[in-house]
Amino acid sequence: MAFNKTRAYRHRIISESSNDDVDYSSRSSFTPTEYLFKILVIGELGTGKTSIIKRYVHQFFSQHYRATIGVDFALKVLNWDSNSIVRLQLWDIAGQERFGNMTRVYYKDALGAFIVFDVTRPATFDAVVKWKQDLDAKVSQEDGTPIPCVLLANKCDQVKEGMVNSVAKMDEFCKENQFSAWYETSAKENVHIDDAAKTLVAQILKNTAQYKPHSKTKGQILLNQVLSSSDKKTNGNCSC
């Protein structure tokens, strides 16, 4: 899809995993299933969203990032298991975009999300509920339930302030607001970022059990159609 010059800066690939090309020549009779999952990374300005993505994709950290304008993209390829490859298309959405008209477009077809706040700035945690409500209002699973969302309490290498100091209160907060899980993370020290991503991907894969392939090309499956009652009966998985 081509973008005109006035919007090109808002839509660019910022990084790509070096594992993109996987050699299966030695297993010519086997083609792994390949999944493509769109993942949103959202939260207030300056919470470290770009740093988390850079650390996760490239194992790189810098103190110097310009504020994201609009949305950036990154690609991470996971050899999930012996039968599956998972490609994560990570959408780094600017903090100031929350109430913009474009967020509905940015959120479209997302299958999971991270909401990020800064543990040193309680105001960024106060905004988490609004981010979650906005997310749930603009994107959902086929059955209308919220997409899996993991809360990241970022910059945990620094002094924490507010509710994040109480694990019990954070657990209750996440339960009340339908988060799949929460993690204290640090892009600088590489703390729990991989764990958070594995949790989110596992939840998305679990949810795809209720879907069937809409299209399949070279092992890639795009999941966007719920199994009908007749489909469930014909594939032998009917529970009635």
Contact 174, 204 (CB under 8 A): no
What is the pTM for the complete model shown?
Answer: 0.75
Please report which confidence band the pLDDT of residue 105 belongs to, taking 50, 70 and 90 as the band edges: confident
Q: What is the DSSP string of 196-230?
A: HHHHHHHHHHHHGGGEEEEEEETTEEEEEEEPPHH
The answer, yes or no, to whether residue 10 has pLDDT greater than 50, is: no
SS3 145: coil
What value does the mean pLDDT of the chain take? Answer: 78
pLDDT in tens, 120-134: 999 999 999 999 999
User: What average pLDDT does range 62-89 have in this prediction?
Assistant: 80
Residue 40's alpha-carbon distances to 29, 88, 138, 148, in angstroms, are 35, 10, 12, 11
**Per mean pLDDT, which of 1-10, 98-107, 158-167 is the most reliable?**
158-167
Give the pLDDT score at 97. 61
What is the rounded CA–CA span in Å between residue 183 and residue 155? 11
Give the pLDDT score at 31. 86
User: What average pLDDT does range 168-197 have in this prediction?
Assistant: 97
User: What average pLDDT does range 163-178 have in this prediction?
Assistant: 97
- What domains lie within the chain, and their CATH numbers? 33-209 (3.40.50.300)
pLDDT in tens, 109-164: 999 999 999 999 999 999 999 999 999 999 999 889 999 999 999 999 999 999 99
| Residue 104 neighbours by CB under 8 Å, 6+ apart | 138
Q: Which of 34, 189, 55 is nearest to 114 (CA)?
A: 55
Of the chain, the percentage scoring pLDDT greater than 90 comes to 57
Give the pLDDT score at 182. 98
